[in-house]
A and B are shown apart, each in its own frame.
Chain A
């Protein structure tokens, strides 16, 4: 296990690269979902306002 973590001496390059990429993937998933749900909520508010007026 410690062999795996040390990455043959390249741990300080390999692990930050993996963390950066996986972090950007997770961030993009969350950002895409938030972007959609904001648009959805906005459209819903608009409909509610039109029905109220």
Chain B
């Protein structure tokens, strides 16, 4: 097998250039898909037979929760690759995921609370799904805090990578919490095996939002990872050439 792509990916100037070139290809579809998904979800989709128009929160809540878990998984896998293969760009990638993931965990928790109030009668309960998503936020904050607290960048990379990998165990707990324990949170409608349990007119905008949020995450990571690479490589000649031009 030809592994040159792997080594090229591991080269900071190469990733810096590729990320810059790819970013617009993610950014524009992101804007279009999220606009379409919001229009479809808030205007076109029919009201739910139980929750009326209140169910429309799903179009911002579920994609935010999806992004929060996708960002964590990406962060932990990149951190793992950084530990195993000592790839600097992998640590840069992991560090780029954390603030994005943390913000969308806040979005998932906040929209969930706003949804909980009319449906459950309360903003918050110490339910397995809600609690494990809150733990996810603390993992992100712990990861960023640990990085900020260690001055030597390489030690910060290694220590935070261990935290990220250990915390990965929380990702399936968030996802399966509604099936493993008796949860107040409704079961997944889309992210499960077998057919989705919601109708096509409701499902289509939701799928558009999932794709939109996935591309949004990619676009944000591509912008942030370029900054991370510049910070880590500031001593090298290629950076001097890139920023001078």
B182 to chain A, nearest CB (A): 25
Secondary structure dominating the interface of A = helix
Inter-chain CA distance A47–B223, complex, in Å, is 22
Secondary structure dominating the interface of B = helix
Given the known A-B contacts A8-B52, A8-B53, A10-B118, are A39 and B220 also in contact in the complex, defined by CB atoms under 8 Å?
no
The one of A22, A24, A29, A50 in contact with B106, judged by C-beta atoms closer than 8 angstroms, is A24
B129 at the interface (CB under 8 A from A): no
B71 to chain A, nearest CB (A): 11
- Write the chain B residue with the least CB distance to A23: B107
Which among A16, A27, A39, A42 has the highest number of chain B CB atoms within 10 Å? A39
Interface string of B215-245 (1 = CB under 8 A from A): 0100010011011101100100001101110
Q: Are B227 and A35 in contact, with the CB atoms below 8 A?
A: yes
The number of chain B residues with a CB under 8 A from chain A is: 40
A52 to chain B, nearest CB (A): 13
Inter-chain CA distance A39–B53, complex, in Å, is 44
Inter-chain CA distance A9–B212, complex, in Å, is 28
A32 to chain B, nearest CB (A): 4
Interface residues on A, range: 20 to 34
Inter-chain CA distance A43–B16, complex, in Å, is 14
**CB-CB < 8 A to B99: which residues of A?**
28, 31
Inter-chain CA distance A5–B53, complex, in Å, is 11
B104 at the interface (CB under 8 A from A): yes
Q: Are A17 and B223 in contact, with the CB atoms below 8 A?
A: no
13 A-B pairs besides A13-B54, A20-B110, A22-B60 with CB distance below 8 A are A7-B56, A10-B54, A18-B38, A18-B42, A21-B107, A28-B100, A28-B103, A29-B220, A32-B224, A36-B226, A39-B227, A43-B231, A47-B239
The 3 closest A-B pairs by CB, nearest first: A8-B53, A39-B227, A10-B54
Q: List 8 A-B contacts (CB under 8 A).
A: A7-B56, A13-B57, A17-B60, A28-B103, A32-B220, A40-B227, A44-B243, A46-B234
